[in-house]
Chain A
Amino acid sequence: MTNATNQPGAGDIEPQDGLVSELRRDGDLIMTGAAGYVDDLPLGHVAHAAILRSPHPHARIVAIDVEKVKAARNVLAVLTGDDLVGMVNPLPHLFDPKIFGLPTAEFYALATEKVRWVGEPVAAVAAETLADAERALDLIDVVYEEIPFVTDAVEAMARGAPKVFDHWEDNVLAMFPFEEGDVDAAIAASTHVIKDVISIQRFQAAPMECRGYVGDWTRGGKITIHASTQQPHQVRTKLSVTLGVTEANIRVVQPRVGGSFGLKFHGYQEESLVCLLSRLAGRPVKWLETRAESLLIGAREFRHEFRVGFEPNGRINGVHNRSIGNIGCLSTWGGWSMVYPNGMSFPGPYAIKNYKMESYGVVTNKAPWSGARGYGKESATLVIERIVDLVAKKIGMDAIDVRRVNFIASDQFPYWTRAKHLDSGDYQGALDQVVELSGYHEWRRVQRDRPADGPLLGVGVAFDLTPEGADASSLIRGHDTTTVRVSPNGAVSVLTGVTSSGTGNETSIAALVAREFGVHPSTVSVFQGDTDISPYGFGSFSGRSLVAGGGAGVLAAREIKDKLRTAASVLLEVEPGDVVFSDGQVRSAANPSRAMDFALLCEQIYSTSYVNPGLLEPQLEATCTYRPGNVTMVPDEHGRISPYPCFPYSAHVAVVEIDRETGYPRVIDYSCVHDSGTVISPKLVDSQLNGAIVMGIGGALYESQPFDDKGHPEALTFKQYLLPRATDLPTIRLGTQVTPSPFTLFGAKGAGESGVGGALASVAIAVNDALEPVGVTVHQLPLTPSRILDALLSSDVAR
């Protein structure tokens, strides 16, 4: 262990000790319509924006004529790409590929010279009403010269393919290799070798609230933007660069957010467009993304080509995987970077000594990627688990036993792979628990005994190892900062740089801080998402908000607590070490009758410090930054790094039934056991897990953004982009295992992402398990009835 950090260990809060059963904050406001999302806010005399988007996947912009728009009724402002050049700077990237030594490109908020994807912003209009703005778009004349395009990643890699960026050598943006041992030799020496492919489609986060921004550029030169975003501070920093306005004059406010799941990272064109339109219009300007616009945003489209060598006893000797990510066009949105975790997640929870994972990011003329829950890790889980299942099928061993043979054992932690320093865990224990919880062996019996002509029944097992807490060389960092402030009447304010997109971390952060002071959580207020109020922080992503923001809050609370303890020892005339905080009181442990209210102690400090000897300065405020341990950016002597500190995981069993006539698959039973380390709010974590599982089921069976042969996305509404509905799902059974992280302040590992990959994989495996008796497989997700039916119809056995 080379990175045993200087951070306090998990013993700090006992796993059971931290549990709270507080109701989610603001539930009463949400239940009565007073929640206040970005479209709900009274922000003055607001004008409305609409964006003209490219109708072509690849074209040169020959001319744009906006004269008719300028004269149109109720139109307040219009912008094109040419207007922006010279007026503002290009948009900074969320992750600029050049920091990794990769090719890059410069983008303005509106296309200049060329459009490279259907939906790329070309012009923006602000008008009195949304209808006025949308009508105005029809009055803009754009002359395009269409040029050849490519939407398939494998075609885009071929010699002579149309180049998305003229100044690049080819369309390959990145190839991240992750390798240990000698995979070719290991596979060559193996008794069995399997070669296969599995592909995951383009599907996205689809929060119920689309993106939205309201920009207000006042005559005094100050900008306020209300943004449905995960990262208000980064929106501010990037707006400052784009607009040439000091960050001090920009305020970004994140109101309540209606879900995000990675879609609301920063780097979007509309963030600066609403500000620029506001300056021109002299009024606040609101832009709300339509569902069709939101469904443009891509993620996760990978094709995995793999080889695995293994022994009759199930031992996997070597795995080679070539992943080709169709990242759409490069943009300033950072989603392309999920090509990295897709690779670094290899080889999952298994102690495979020889592996080679090559993760490619290839640009095409599809809309770019933004973040999506799982961030490529779900894609890795899908292929790793598919490989394990194929190995099991080949040697006639239960896939559970193949995992048993290959798991990293619980006494091997911390455990190094190429780009992971795995913190802690009991993988076999979690699997055993879900086998029990799901009645796995009973399902296998049901499967064996079912009538030969009945519905096909499949059981799928998957294990989802989910690196969390990403610390990347950019404005995506693993640490965060929290201020705790205690007022004279004992009210506690927590101002934190982490945000909530609806996850509920504010509820848990309040509980953690309240616990330090021995007060009720209802006396603790949490403020997030306002750059004028919160300390600089990185918002929410990678399941890190509670670990980092909550950790910083605990540290800040402890700093204040030290002052309170000193003051209490003076006022109660006891030793500082004898002072305890509980039930809203501060008292002597030895002599509980020496006690005072927490509020009175605070009041005494503010009103009598400097007068009352022994009381320190009359200030109860502290700001702390917490960085989880276990992050290693500088390669060790073996060239290993660990950009993720935490590794929660989950074990899944899905049971799927398939109608032979229609190919319709249905998940009829689902169980999952997860380990997120120490859990602060069990109900909230379980609810996150349910959501992650259902997102994975959606990806396995329903959700997809296909493109037609003209390069147009085909899913423009939820009638084409199918989200799972309540009737598509069985009751989900959950179980919990707790192995605290030894590297974080209170042992939490993070929650929210683990489950997507496990559900994708377990359902895909279950479908293929159901198809096994008829001798066919399907390996292009989503596993739709038509794909399954095609497979069934191709089966000799079925005939």
Chain B
Amino acid sequence: MTHQTPAPVSTVSVTVNGTRRTFVCEDRTLLVYAIRDNLDLKGTRVGCMNGDCGACTIKLDGQAVKSCLLLAASADGAEIVTLEGIAPPGQLSPLQKAMWEEDAFQCGFCVAGALFAAQELLDTHDDPDEEDIRKALIGNLCRCTGYEYMVEAVKSVARARRQGGTCDSSVD
């Protein structure tokens, strides 16, 4: 029974975490699988395959998106940042550091969503309050923490930025 024809494939080029990468994948391949399997970046995770949980969140051309809702081929030419590329190797961003210090995660499976969503908030709001922060996290599910210390972590970054006067929040 070999009547099935092979699925059509595309060549996709992206800049991921600062490096140009080219891979071939089936047209139907979802971006989350291309990132995990073709690019071997496992920090982008599959939690629901339905855009509900945010574990597959990446930054695509400057915007936090859920990679389970996009076809890999649609990302051709895009600039992608994954969990692995938020900070240079061996470093943590202020938000990553705050998430750790505030114990804002437990199992850690979902952290990409919160990190990208909250960073987007911090990048666009000078002084977000609790309501802003909770709204920013609305697209991400976390089952461990009740979001409580996640909110605290984002607050602490905003507070440090106010007090320290530093604008560069992306990398420490």
A contacts, CB < 8 Å to B: 23-24, 26-28, 30-37, 39-40, 68, 71-73, 131, 135, 205-210, 256-259, 261, 288, 290-291, 501-504, 683-684, 687-688, 690-691, 693-695, 717-719, 723-727, 729, 731-732
Within 8 Å by CB of A502, from B106, B137, B149, lies: B106
CB distance from B103 to the nearest CB of A (A): 5
Is the Cβ of B109 less than 8 Å from the Cβ of A33? no
B122 within 8 A of A: no
Is the Cβ of B53 less than 8 Å from the Cβ of A209? no
Give 21 pairs: A residue, B residue, CB < 8 Å, sorted on A.
A24-B103, A30-B108, A31-B100, A32-B96, A40-B42, A73-B1, A207-B107, A207-B143, A258-B110, A291-B48, A501-B107, A502-B106, A687-B103, A690-B146, A690-B148, A691-B143, A694-B147, A725-B140, A726-B134, A729-B146, A729-B147
Report the bound CA distance from A259 to B81 in whole Å: 25
CB distance from A667 to the nearest CB of B (A): 11
CB distance from A207 to the nearest CB of B (A): 6
Is the Cβ of B49 less than 8 Å from the Cβ of A690? no
Given A26-B108, A35-B43, A691-B144, 6 new contacts (CB under 8 A): A23-B100, A32-B43, A258-B107, A683-B149, A718-B53, A732-B148
B92 within 8 A of A: yes
Is the Cβ of B101 less than 8 Å from the Cβ of A23? yes
* B127-163 Cβ-contact flags toward A at 8 Å (1 or 0): 0001001110110111111111111000000000000
- What are the residues of chain A within 8 A of B48 when measuring CB–CB? 291, 717-718
CB distance from A25 to the nearest CB of B (A): 10
B70 within 8 A of A: no
Is the Cβ of A718 less than 8 Å from the Cβ of B141? yes
B8-16, B59-67, B71-79, B83-91 - interface stretch: B83-91
B34 within 8 A of A: no
Is the Cβ of B106 less than 8 Å from the Cβ of A688? yes
Within 8 Å by CB of A208, from B47, B96, B100, B148, lies: B47
- What are the residues of chain A within 8 A of B31 when measuring CB–CB? none
Is the Cβ of B1 less than 8 Å from the Cβ of A719? no
- What are the residues of chain A within 8 A of B147 when measuring CB–CB? 694, 725-726, 729
Is the Cβ of A727 less than 8 Å from the Cβ of B135? yes
Within 8 Å by CB of A691, from B42, B53, B99, B106, lies: B106
Evaluate whether A33 and B43 lie within 8 angstroms (CB atoms) in the complex, with A690-B149, A694-B146, A725-B137 already known. Answer: yes
- What are the residues of chain A within 8 A of B146 when measuring CB–CB? 690-691, 693-695, 724, 729, 732
Is the Cβ of B143 less than 8 Å from the Cβ of A33? no
Evaluate whether A33 and B83 lie within 8 angstroms (CB atoms) in the complex, with A718-B141, A723-B141, A726-B138 already known. Answer: yes
> Chain A residue with minimal CB distance to B33?
A130
Within 8 Å by CB of B53, from A23, A72, A208, A288, lies: A208
Per CB-CB distance, the 4 closest pairs between chain A and chain B, nearest first, are A33-B43, A502-B107, A258-B109, A694-B146
Number of A-B residue pairs having CB atoms within 8 Å of each other in the complex: 175
Is the Cβ of B44 less than 8 Å from the Cβ of A33? yes
**Chain A at the B interface: SS class:** loop
Report the bound CA distance from A724 to B82 in whole Å: 26
B2 within 8 A of A: yes
CB distance from B109 to the nearest CB of A (A): 3
Within 8 Å by CB of A290, from B49, B83, B101, B103, lies: B49
- Of B44, B53, B103, B107, most buried by chain A (CB within 10 Å of CB) is B107
- What are the residues of chain A within 8 A of B82 when measuring CB–CB? 33
- Of B92, B101, B108, B134, most buried by chain A (CB within 10 Å of CB) is B108
CB distance from B122 to the nearest CB of A (A): 15
B52 within 8 A of A: yes
Report the bound CA distance from A302 to B125 in whole Å: 46
Is the Cβ of A39 less than 8 Å from the Cβ of B46? yes
- What are the residues of chain B within 8 A of A732 when measuring CB–CB? 146, 148
Is the Cβ of B43 less than 8 Å from the Cβ of A34? yes
Is the Cβ of B143 less than 8 Å from the Cβ of A261? yes
- What are the residues of chain B within 8 A of A32 when measuring CB–CB? 43, 83-84, 86-87, 92, 96
> Chain A residue with minimal CB distance to B44?
A33
CB distance from A528 to the nearest CB of B (A): 14
Report the bound CA distance from A256 to B48 in whole Å: 19
- What are the residues of chain B within 8 A of A683 when measuring CB–CB? 103, 149
Report the bound CA distance from A290 to B49 in whole Å: 8
> Chain A residue with minimal CB distance to B115?
A31
* B34-62 Cβ-contact flags toward A at 8 Å (1 or 0): 00100001111111111011010000000
Evaluate whether A72 and B1 lie within 8 angstroms (CB atoms) in the complex, with A24-B100, A729-B146 already known. Answer: yes
Report the bound CA distance from A206 to B55 in whole Å: 14
B166 within 8 A of A: no
Is the Cβ of B109 less than 8 Å from the Cβ of A27? no
Report the bound CA distance from A36 to B83 in whole Å: 13
